[in-house]
Chains A and B, each alone.
Chain A
Amino acid sequence: MNAPVYNFAYLDEQTKRMIRRAVLKAIAIPGYQVPFASREMPMPYGWGTGGVQVTAAILGPDDVLKVIDQGSDDTTNAISIRKFFARTAGVATTTATADATVIQTRHRIPESPLHGGQVLVYQVPIPEPLRFLEPRETETRRMHALGEYGLMHVKLYEDIARFGHIATSYAYPVKVNARYVMDPSPTPKFDNPKMDNCPALQLFGAGREKRIYAIPPYTSVVSLDFEDHPFTRYRFDAPCALCGADDSYLDEIVTDDQGSRMFVCSDTDYCENRQAEGHRGSESAAPHKERPHG
């Protein structure tokens, strides 16, 4: 054997115990960021070290793992994390949302509804929603303790004063179980309503910032807004060019230097399923081949 032999799912047992205890407290106090002794992982910060540690602590040999990066199953980050666990834990992997028991995600929630047997693990860069408003940890911690979130409303109000609408389009702050204001990680605000009353357990891991937090299933998650400026989702006003979906979150793809562009589903599994079902978009003559534009 040339390959080094690691413990099941890479992490040592003491580390897993520590993370598991943090996960349990995180579930018991929805939206509260539990500090944990984040370890160095064999990948750089920003590549999902927090999510990987949470996944490693919960993963078992019977689990089926799906990893997405901005909705896509086939980008570098998603593939390497999937391979990491296939190699260190020997778990089955999938790209099908419905088949997965554990889904690790970087900044998207799958379009297909999640079900009760699933755990969604988010990779989080900056867990503290108040951090850019108040840099001192002692102060943000006190603000959470007192439930003092006026500053966040001021920030959203300043958006309205400057742009005429709430211009925050991702990492849109939410209030969990009517108590803690939480950063849903930099998911597009399009995904915020999917967190509310979700049947799946949602866990959040921030490796560099050393925080774990959670939303239990069937928990209220409300996007902050004002009565006269209610929360709205945002999506490009176009159908997917490959599958024609008009209800999915879209990526904008620039196709030449003449200003041409196309919009396609960010969730690759959702898009491929729709194409397999026979749905077609404007560019779907040969969806898996490149063809010249312009």
Chain B
Amino acid sequence: MTTVAELPAGFADKVLSAQTTFRSVMDAMARPGSVQRVTAVSGAPASLMRGTAAIALTLFDHDTPVWLDPLLSETSDVAKWLKFHTSAPVIPDSSISSFAVIGEPRALPALDRFAFGSNEYPDRSTTVILQVESLTMGPAFELRGPGIDGTAVLRATLQPADLFERLAINATLFPRGIDVVLVADDAVVAIPRTTRLVAKGG
């Protein structure tokens, strides 16, 4: 049984750490494909990357049901840490979650398991936070869409291999859709629902 004293710490400076982390995520969302860094320092359960932990401490609270993938819910460490620091309810039903945190991206569930929002309220959709291997090295993904001047190239080693193919449903569903935040250690890249894959290279 973990006691509160044994839980990893949250932000040392809650206010300014949350602010810098938010600005990194906001810049990532406004400029899809660009790599932003999370500089805030916090403790984190072993299975959460630095970036993921900081984003959780910045955006989660009692208003945001959070779904954890099987890897992260294997032990109760992550759920306990999230509940203690953010008060976010950790729920078993991904289709009503505000955020879904994926520790094992190969096992990303089918996207229709998450909330797409409605045509009237497309903002009531799940933001999927996906922990990936690298956001600086790997195959090139050429992206376009709002926030991108022409096209942007993202070099990333990520799973699932068909992530962008799966995200193509965003084009059909728009304005409904799934927004994805990719995290690799302290690097953050956002793929909002308006971003389209142009080409995939080696």
Q: Is the interface of B mostly helix, strand, loop or mixed?
A: loop
- A 51-73 to B, binary, CB cutoff 8 A, 1 in contact else 0: 00000011111000000000000
Shortest C-beta distance, A164 to chain B (Å), equals 36
For the complex, give the distance between the alpha carbons of A217 and B127 in Å: 21
B146 and A219 form a contact (CB under 8 A): yes
Q: Is residue B123 contacting chain A, with contact meaning CB distance below 8 A?
A: yes
Known A17-B61, A34-B123; contact A24-B25, beta-carbon cutoff 8 A:
yes
Q: Is residue A8 contacting chain B, with contact meaning CB distance below 8 A?
A: yes
Q: Is residue A14 contacting chain B, with contact meaning CB distance below 8 A?
A: yes
A20 and B59 form a contact (CB under 8 A): yes
Shortest C-beta distance, B84 to chain A (Å), equals 16
- Chain B residues 142 to 175 lying within 8 A of chain A, measured CB to CB, are 146-149, 174-175
Residue of A24, A30, A144, A216 with most chain B CB atoms under a 10 A cut-off: A24
Question: B29 touches which one: A18, A28, A35, A57 (CB < 8 A)?
Answer: A28
For the complex, give the distance between the alpha carbons of A29 and B84 in Å: 32
Chain B residues whose C-beta falls within 8 Å of the C-beta of A217 in the assembled complex: 30-31, 146-147, 149
For the complex, give the distance between the alpha carbons of A58 and B193 in Å: 22
- A 16-30 to B, binary, CB cutoff 8 A, 1 in contact else 0: 111011111111111
Question: B26 touches which one: A24, A177, A199 (CB < 8 A)?
Answer: A24
For the complex, give the distance between the alpha carbons of A23 and B19 in Å: 13
Q: Is residue B82 contacting chain A, with contact meaning CB distance below 8 A?
A: no
For the complex, give the distance between the alpha carbons of A179 and B175 in Å: 8
A60 and B16 form a contact (CB under 8 A): yes
A145 and B146 form a contact (CB under 8 A): no
For the complex, give the distance between the alpha carbons of A34 and B146 in Å: 18
Question: B120 touches which one: A7, A30, A145 (CB < 8 A)?
Answer: A145
Q: Is residue B42 contacting chain A, with contact meaning CB distance below 8 A?
A: no
* A to B CB contacts below 8 Å, 7 in the list: A23-B26, A24-B29, A27-B192, A29-B192, A144-B120, A218-B147, A219-B147
